[in-house]
Amino acid sequence: NNDSKSHSPMLTVSGSDVFVVWNDDRDGNFEIYYKHSVDGGVNWGQDTRLTNSVFSGSPCISISGSNLHVVYVHSVYKDDLSQKTEIYYKLSTDQGISWGDDKLLTSVSSLIQPSVSVLGSIVHVAWEDDRDGNNEIYYKRKGNPVGIED
């Protein structure tokens, strides 16, 4: 679609596999998409839509083994029309062939720019948050080998 706008591309690499996530508005609102190359970025598979929301953005991706970890921001308007922004996590255990359900990581209203990194079985997530009136960096860590669990 020539009229769509793409933003916030992020990638991770493992050997000759390249994995990228981004958000774009080809379907009328911003959603997170994923794409995979098995030959170092020469050829690419099809786009896969990962979200179904009013607005999803600022995706980040990390790989550990065959597990792909994606975090992103999801924004909704509350009844008083103020915006609530939360961070969600999504996991694929088969290099992006299939994806699990979205998991809510945060429940405060002003979060931006999530980042994810994985080392072994430890998933690290950081983001910017102004819940106390100042932009601060927050961090969450989980040790489940197949993703963040409650």
pLDDT tens for each residue of 101-140 = 999 888 766 667 889 999 888 889 998 887 777 888 888 8
Q: What is the Cα–Cα distance from 90 to 104, expressed in whole angstroms?
A: 9
- pLDDT score at 8: 82
- pLDDT score at 89: 93
- Output the six-digit token pair for 43: 């050829």
- pLDDT score at 6: 74
Within the chain, strands assigned E span: 6-14, 17-24, 31-37, 48-49, 55-64, 67-77, 83-92, 103-104, 111-119, 122-129, 136-142
For residues 125 and 75, which has the higher predicted lDDT (pLDDT)? 125
Nearest to 86 by CA among 107, 103, 70, 113: 107
pLDDT band at 15 (very low <50, low <70, confident <90, very high): very high
